[in-house]
Amino acid sequence: MVTPRTHRFRGRRRKPQGSTLDLFEAVEDSIILNIRQTSLSACAAKGLKVGCLCGFRVVRSGCMKKDCPVCGQEVTKRRARRIFDRFEKVRNGRPVLYTVLTVPPKVRSRFVVRSEWRKVVKAVIKVFKSEFGFDFGVECSHPISETNEYVFHPHINLLWLQKAGVDRHKSEIPGSIDLDKLRARWAQILGTAGPVDVNHQFAATEKKIRHRCRYIARVFPGLSSWVGSVRWYGKPPVLPPEIRKCPKCGQVFMVIDFLTEHEFLEERAIAAGVGWRDKIR
Ligand SMILES: [Zn+2]
Ligand SMILES: [Zn+2]
């Protein structure tokens, strides 16, 4: 996991109050306010009542925009599902690797400009392909940390598969890579001499992989123009279009009714009471 901001408190870098670090924070705060769109309006979101041979159930519906505070959650879920399915289709027992590259505070402000950020992402993918055996994978940039939504904290999240038999850096563990080398390359790309943070893990169980997919698929209402979309590199498998079928009876769901937010919540509550769960995939 990313452990945002910890580097600030690491002994050597700690500075007394009123120092330049405080200034960094102030600058970051204003950055994030600048790139966030000022007016975020939740759509008058809603639900759908859908039916199959088993009865009916209610599902979320709405504008389904990444910037919608209500629908954003659904967009995340859907993206996560699609990412997971792609990896499942081709990973063939290989672990899914998860690498996070964060940016030291003093060079962050440069990356408010999206095109500057895309340049470094591109450079990173190139390095992964040529030096770390990157086979295919997905990149999602996040503009803020998990712990503080008011601080600009751009980081690259990479979920990827490694080609068989490459760079098993001094280890038999599949997917282990030379982190010192990666740190050096990342510092080069950022053009900074100072220490940089990278984090590398792998996930081999379905639960862990789903968890990672869910994390990287996160949307950031108000910041989506900086974030952009999920990007695939290498040769991702093509998935068939999503058809929403009932896992029980196999029927394609039919829309029975359109619900307002209030009706949706009410139906959900009733459904929960009688043991229905929204398990639509
Ligand atoms: Zn919406
Ligand atoms: Zn059914």
Q: Counting ligands in written order, which one lies closest to the CA of residue 56?
A: 2
pLDDT in the model for residue 169 = 56
| 167 within domain boundaries | yes
pLDDT in the model for residue 198 = 94
Q: Counting ligands in written order, which one lies closest to the CA of residue 246?
A: 2
| 181 within domain boundaries | yes
Any idea which residue has 């999206």 for tokens?
A: 114
Ligand 1 mean position, distance from CA 215 (Å): 20
Q: Which domain holds residue 128?
A: 91-233
Cβ atoms of residues 128 and 134 within 8 Å:
yes
pLDDT in the model for residue 231 = 93
In three-state secondary structure terms, 46 is strand
| 21 within domain boundaries | no
pLDDT in the model for residue 60 = 79
Residues with CB under 5 A from ligand 2 (ion): 52-54, 246, 248-249
| 141 within domain boundaries | yes
pLDDT in the model for residue 138 = 96
**Residues 52, 220: Cα–Cα separation, whole Å:** 34
Token output for 242: 């999503």
| 57 within domain boundaries | no
pLDDT in the model for residue 245 = 78
pLDDT in the model for residue 129 = 94
61 - beta bridge partners?
A: 46
Domain count for the chain? 1
Token output for 38: 């000022």
Mean pLDDT by 10 residues, the chain (281 residues): 38 42 56 63 76 85 83 89 93 91 92 94 96 93 87 94 69 76 96 90 92 95 89 87 80 85 84 56 37
| 271 within domain boundaries | no
The model's pTM is 0.76
pLDDT in the model for residue 11 = 36
| 55 within domain boundaries | no
| 174 within domain boundaries | yes
Which CATH number belongs to the domain containing residue 99 in this structure? 3.30.70.260
